[in-house]
Chain A
Amino acid sequence: MTQVDPTTIWIIIIGLAIGSYALRFTFIGLVGDRPMPPWLLRHLRYTAVAIIPALIAPLVVWPAATNGQPDVPRMASAAVALTVGIVTKNVLAAIFSGAATLYGLLYLVG
């Protein structure tokens, strides 16, 4: 494992702690009972559902562990985890079936 600079880690932890608290407090603490513009709420609804797929799409297509070469076990386990999640709506079931696919195929191929 690469050694990460402790100062960087602490900046990230403290920055996220303050930032996350600010996000949580802004509305309930400062806005109080005033209504918020619908266009803002409409965009906020789609933040997680946009950022998370954008974060992992490149990791699935070009995995770091294989030096960016597309890799069948990783692609297959990604497809299984996503499909099981969509069908069952159960995060843990999706994680376990995705992991089982990855290990199963790595065992068969490797």
Chain B
Amino acid sequence: MASATSKSYFWKGFRDGSPFVFVAIPFGTLFGVFATEAGLNIVQTMAFSATVFAGAAQFTALQLLQDNTPTIIILISALAVNLRVAMYSASLTPYLGAAPLWQRACAAYLIVDQSYACSVVRFEKEPDMSVPQRMAYFVGSVTPITPLWLIATYLGAVLGTQIPDSWALDFALPITFLSMIGPMMRTLAHVVAALVAIVVALLTVGVPFNLGLLIAGAAGMIAGAQAELQLDRKKT
């Protein structure tokens, strides 16, 4: 019975996604605290976490908001940080592309680092899974974290109003981001991309409207892609 096996794949996904609650809870709480510090009220903070559902992009928007960056630059920069979900979407398409459109439309909202990482590993390991089984597994893998992400954001927003200035929270956001960079350094090309982006960002800090960020980001992307090409050529 197809629905019974899909159900068991939902629970497999649920189990594989469960460890990520230890990421979703602290990040959600941090976002709630930062958003409150940046001057957002609870309704705005909750709407942000619920509709955007992408931690790094949300943190980026908050930081730029505090730097009085023009709105359009904030939008472009935060979406650039989120471009990787487009890559996840592309990479999941061969596995889930045959599902009905309404299912794909719902699944799209649920594409985050965690659901992508779990699902791609499982889909590669079990190439015989049917499309409904894959969809069940994918949805299962985000089910533990989605409600906790929202609850944690709420708690952070409530707590945030009670934190005194002496806690040096101005630097909590840079530390959070720096901590995310280390695990991203998977290949030499990633390191090259990051280093070029840092150098260009420091050189272009005088460019108005925080446009230096986009220039540095583009330079880093090109550097990473070129480094990857060079490294591949050496291998063969």
* Contacts A1-B39, A49-B181, A99-B175 given; does A41 touch B220 at CB 8 Å: no
B residues within 8 Å of A by Cβ? Answer: 22-23, 26, 37-40, 44, 47-48, 51-54, 56-58, 60-61, 63-67, 71, 74-75, 77-90, 92-94, 96-98, 101, 104-105, 107-109, 111, 168, 170-185, 189-190, 193-198, 200-202, 205, 212-213, 216-225, 228-229
**Chain A binding surface SS class:** helix
Chain A: number of interface residues, binned into ranges: 35 or more
Interface set, chain A 28-50, CB cutoff 8 A to B: 28-29, 31-33, 36, 39, 41-50
Closest to B47 in A: A13
**Total of A-B residue pairs, C-beta within 8 Å:** 293
Contact A98 B175 (CB under 8 A): yes
Q: Does the CB pair A99–B225 fall under 8 Å?
A: no
Nearest-neighbour CB distance to chain A for B177, whole angstroms, equals 5
Looking at the assembled complex, report how far the CB atom of B153 sits from the nearest CB atom of chain A, in whole angstroms: 13
A residues sitting closer than 8 Å to B (CB atoms) are: 1-4, 6, 8-17, 19-21, 23-29, 31-33, 36, 39, 41-65, 74, 77-78, 81-92, 94-95, 98-99, 102-103, 106
**Residue among A25, A51, A77, A86 making CB contact with B220, cutoff 8 Å:** A51
Contact check, A12 vs B75: say whether CB atoms are below 8 A apart. Answer: yes
B39 and A13 contact, CB distance less than 8 A: no
